[in-house]
Amino acid sequence: MSMLDQVDLSLHLGKKSYERQLEELQFKMLRLQRAVTQIGHRMVLVFEGWDASGKGGAIKRLTEALDPRGFVVHPIAAPTPEERAHNYLWRFWNRMPRDGQMVLFDRSWYGRVLVERVEGFATMREWSQAYGEINDFERILHNDRTSILKFFLHISSEEQEKRFRDREQDPLKTWKLTEEDWRNREKWPEYAIATDEMLARTSSETAPWQVIAANDKRWARIAILKAVVEMLVADMPFEFDDDNVLVLDRSGAYALVDAGKLASKAVEAVIAEEEKVRKLLKKQRKAD
């Protein structure tokens, strides 16, 4: 049985549970982002998955409560003529995070062993040797103090067709659907084989893959948020829990404090900022 066949696509989450967990996890992310900035931590998040699997929506929920100065999202399209003149990994080096930054890739260097393999843009020799090249690339990033977490959003063929039809009929979403999407769909078995080999050959302890059941978008978004929060907490050089906030102390450095036990203008300012963000997000969700 393939790795994709082992994913339970029936997993789902009710609306109330989703909204409660979403708010809780987004504010954990906001607090963790301050810690990431202070300690100079670097993080790379890779999003791969079937067309219409919900990558963009998951990225939006992951970042919408964050300070935009602390993260960058790179939507990866076909390489430009200049990029094609270099090694396929060249265009990603300049997109890596600086100290204290999180970088999210909506598709990535894994195109070499997915679309380039299936569509014949890379020779068998090129995509076959890419597994080792990618593992070396990610090992270099890890050794340079960069955490890496990779997600593959998995949906059924039936769910993909349903989402394509929905896009086709919605004037606000038709731009998301192209003839290429329908052509790629005809090669579902080939893409499934390529994906299984990618997952098996490029998941490592320092750059693991997480295959996310994404037939239910709510389930997928919460699963991804939980995984990122868990990794960030594990990467922190200090104890971090739900009551902690990061504030500037008198020396100008950040300090981790318990918001419930220490009353200060700095703590009050952080809490006020969080409450402002919370209200804006609630207002935005009602509008959605």
Q: Confidence class of residue 259 from pLDDT cuts 50, 70 and 90? A: very low
Record the tokens describing residue 223, joined without a space.
Answer: 């699963």
198 or 236: whose pLDDT is higher? Answer: 198
Question: Over the stretch 45-73, which tens digit does the pLDDT of each residue have?
Answer: 999 999 999 999 999 999 999 999 999 99
User: Angle, to 10 degrees, between the axis of helix 55-63 and the axis of helix 15-39?
Assistant: 60
Q: How far is CA 264 from CA 30, 185, 261, 269, in A?
A: 20, 57, 10, 9
Q: Confidence class of residue 180 from pLDDT cuts 50, 70 and 90? A: confident
- What confidence score (pLDDT) does residue 107 get? 98
Domains of the chain, earliest start first:
4-237 (3.40.50.300), 243-288 (no CATH)
**pLDDT beyond 70 at 257:** no
Distance CA 278, CA 91 (A): 36
Contacts of 104 (CB under 8 A, 6+ apart): 44, 45, 47, 59, 62, 63, 71, 72, 73, 74
Question: Over the stretch 209-220, which tens digit does the pLDDT of each residue have?
Answer: 999 999 999 999
Considering only 6-20, 102-116, 164-178, which range has the smallest mean pLDDT? 164-178
Kindly report the pTM of this predicted structure: 0.87
